[in-house]
Amino acid sequence: MSTEQPRGTRSQPILYWNRATGKTAEELIYGEGFMRWIYETPAGRFFADALFCRPVFSRLYGAYKRTRASASAIPGFVKRFDIRMEEFEAGDFRSFNDFFIRRFKPGARRFSEKPEELCAFAEGRYLAFEQLTEGQRFPVKSAAMSPEGLLSDGENGGEKARLFAGGPVLVARLCPTDYHRFHYPDDGVTVEAYPIPGKLHSVNPLALKTRADVFVTNERRVSILRTKNFGDLAYVEVGAICVGKIVQTRSELEPFCRGDEKGYFLFGGSTVIVLGEPGAWRPDADLLEQTRLGRETLVRLGERVAKKCGQ
């Protein structure tokens, strides 16, 4: 999948707010030419539905990314996207997927120890809302979702969805260039967990301009977490195009601690969405402001992203 774009396909760039630098930056899109073709042209949209966004295509592409041949793309990828490999554990990456699920070095990222602070559960581009209402639309992505749509598969999640109606929500989009492991934001236990089958459209803003229902039609995995400091959370891992698999690395029968790894995505862009109960916590003001302005905010793993109400 080429990272170059054909001449004439360039449209509006994707801008985000970098929290660390306090500046706006332009996102470099992996496979930009392909992505713009399948979501910005009639022929591409046809093939997206007919082939590229069906799970079988992503499974096959993911299988290739697990081969030794795929490892040859790693040096060029690191250079093109300026990935700071000194932050990650050294390893013998025998495939692109080995590289893709690389871990941070111990101490490279730290979770806040303040009990009233909700920590970033993934490293990526965040949107934040104080209330998730029916048909909530994202200004940066023109996408819509609801608790019922996110959590219900027709059998599971209907009752749980009512618990989170009108509550806060954080959406963390992970680009293919990002760290692709996701973590628990607080201490607690898993009350319930289940998969929801679906398609595998891209979660990139390019796709969400024309596919407003991606988050409620893509393949997802839902976990209801009962946390020590923030009440119940709905933790939703959303698959996307070319994501080979969503892997859980910790037994859900065991209690978890703040910062523990929960799992990872194999190759591809993906998203983690966390919903809270009404009045339990409030996303940070800078995330809310950037969302209002129509921009995502790049946040590092473990940083504060919300605070318990009343604190």
pLDDT tens digits, 8-59: 344 678 899 999 999 999 988 776 666 677 667 777 776 666 666 666 666 6
Residue with tokens 């591809």: 268
Which parts of 41-130 fold into alpha helices (H)? Answer: 42-47, 55-64, 74-80, 96-100
Query: Which segment of 122-126, 191-195, 215-219, 269-273 scores lowest on mean pLDDT?
Result: 215-219
- The phi, psi pair for 298, rounded to 5°, reads -75, 120
Identify the pLDDT of residue 3: 38
Average of per-residue pLDDT across 81-97 = 92
Report helix, strand or coil for 67.
Answer: coil
CB-neighbour burial class of residue 236 (10 A; exposed 0-12, middle 13-18, buried 19+): buried
Selection from 224, 239, 238 nearest residue 275 by Cα: 224
Global pTM reads 0.84
| Residue 138: pLDDT over 60 | no
**CA 280/CA 237 separation, integer angstroms:** 21
Q: Give the whole-angstrom CA distance, residue 267 versus residue 65.
A: 7
Roughly how many angstroms between the first and final C-alpha of the chain, as a whole number?
48
Torsion of CA 283, 288, 290, 293, to 10 degrees: 160
Cβ–Cβ under 8 Å, residues 92 and 102: no
Residue whose structure tokens are 């713009």: 36
Q: What is the pLDDT of residue 36?
A: 72
Tell me which of 66-75, 151-160, 176-185, 261-270 is least confident. 151-160
Residue 8: per-residue pLDDT = 39
Cα 94 to chain centroid distance, Å, stands at: 25
| C-alpha–C-alpha distance, residues 75 and 93, integer Å | 11
What whole-number distance in Å separates Cα of residue 80 and Cα of residue 160?
43
Domain count, the chain: 1
Domain range holding 185? 1-311
Q: Does the pLDDT of residue 256 top 60, yes or no?
A: yes
